[in-house]
Amino acid sequence: MVRALVAIVILALASFGIIQTYRLASEKAGHAATRAGHAEQLAGLERAAREAEQNARAEEQRRAAALQGAIREAETNLARARADAAAAASAGERMRQRVATLTSSCRAGAGHPASSGAGPAASAPGDLLADVFDRVDQAVRDIAEHADAARAAGIACQTGYDALTP
């Protein structure tokens, strides 16, 4: 009976050892699977981080290029407006010369024998016309210059905003 009892105890201990070995192997396999899953997850996160960084850099470069394009376009528009203003100033100068010619002909006509005493009054309207024309021309130039600069700045601002917003 003692032998049977010893055999049962040895059998129980062996069974316990086998069960514990099986549990340990199972836990090791589970731990390895968890580590592999974590490694995959970390690799996926690193891949996503690299892709996000590349996308952010590409977007930053796109925005910088678009902003530079907007600046170049604004400079081109401003140069074009200045050229138009110079052409308008040239036309204004020709008109001033024409007004000066008319004013001098009004003065010359004042001494004409056919005019009866209206000489001094005739030169005043001619001078007045020249003075009004000069003032209006200068005011128009100032307004046009301001409007051209404001328009170019507004277009540049809008283009820059459009370039920077997704």
Residue 110 is predicted with a pLDDT of 53
Domain count of the chain? 1
* Weakly modelled stretches of the chain, pLDDT under 70: 107-126
Q: Which domain holds residue 132?
A: 2-164
d(CA 72, CA 80): 12
d(CA 40, CA 34): 10
Predicted TM-score (pTM) of the model is 0.55
Rounded Cα distance, 125 and 21, in Å: 121
Give the integer Cα–Cα distance in Å for 146 and 99.
26
End-to-end CA gap in the chain: 88
The reported pLDDT for the residue numbered 122 is 47
